[in-house]
Amino acid sequence: MLKHLQFVFAPIVLLTMAPQVMAGDVLDRIKQKGSITIGYRESADPISYIANGKPVGYALDICQNVVTEIKKQLKTPQLKIEYKAVNSTSRIPEVLAGNVDIECGTTTNNKQRQQQVAFSTSYYVADVRMAVKKTSNIQTLKQLNGKAVVTVQGGNPEKYLKMSAKKANINIISLGGKDHADAFSMLSSGRAAAFVNDDIGLAGLIAKSANPKDYEIVGPTLSSEPYGIMFAKTDPKLKSIADGVVNQMWKSGQMDQLYKKWFQSPIPPKNINLNLAPSGSYKALKAKPNDVGI
């Protein structure tokens, strides 16, 4: 374990049981404790994941820039960074409890979550689709009728899958993985015929699987998911800092540089290149950066 990284693996807790931090300054808390705690995902390649024993990814690079600006604003150049693993179930409770100061992962900015937490300007937009084994010959939602389909517990794709299945008038057997890796294992083992998730997450999992050529991403886009840095609603100054950093990264072209680094170049730990061209959703966000959500 690296000396400068503190890994704390978060337990799964119920949202209703999470003690919410009352009105107060997150920046004050950060300054007082002399450190900032970043929430990250363990297997959401290439956005936020573990490689070579440490958290890395597109979102982590963006949050590093935010931390640099926080150090300037607080005049705390020695501010330490601590890391805490979160998942789809624990991420919001950890922010509400004050255990995570900023969450840098694959959390979609939507209206429901905006009632509890705040988001920065979006740094990526993912399209929800499905991964299948090529040998299954599945290409459409209709072909999932009567089959088992897995999503990650607590994530938006589960909701969109059920809505789409109802609209398509099909019946599916819904399975839930505890995280991205667990859900993908259900697909690879044959327990599930399809894995519905954000396309970039699917691409990352396929790329690092034992046999990437066995899988493909197919079907319609069930939803477009804007990702943003998540933090408590109690600190508008923190949001101002995060928005300023992300907006400047879009304006300066730094976001495009990060895209090439994480989506179109070899990435750790296996030096796999996802070779993903920017989607129409990404280009639209680049043209008009915003924090509107869905």
For the chain, the 3-state helix, strand and coil shares in percent, each to the nearest 5, are: 40, 25, 35
Terminus-to-terminus CA distance in the chain, angstroms?
Answer: 39
Sign, Cα dihedral of 148, 151, 154, 155: negative
3-state class (DSSP) for residue 160? helix
pLDDT digits (tens), the chain, 294 positions: 444 444 443 443 333 344 444 435 899 999 999 999 999 999 999 999 999 999 999 999 999 999 999 999 999 999 999 999 999 999 999 999 999 999 999 999 999 999 999 999 999 999 999 999 999 999 999 999 999 999 999 889 999 999 999 999 999 999 999 999 999 999 999 999 999 999 999 999 998 899 999 999 999 999 999 999 999 999 999 999 999 999 999 999 999 999 999 999 999 998 999 988 898 899 999 999 999 999
Global pTM exceeds 0.75: yes
CA–CA distance from 15 to each of 7, 22, 108, 132, 198 (Å)?
Answer: 22, 16, 17, 32, 23
As beta bridge partners, residue 103 has 39, 230
255-282 residues labelled b (16+ CB within 10 A) or e (exposed): beebbeebbeeebeeeebebebeebebb
Question: For residue 122, what pLDDT is reported?
Answer: 99
| Domains parsed from the chain with CATH numbers | 7-123+228-287 (3.40.190.10), 127-225 (3.40.190.10)
Tokens of 112: 């429901």
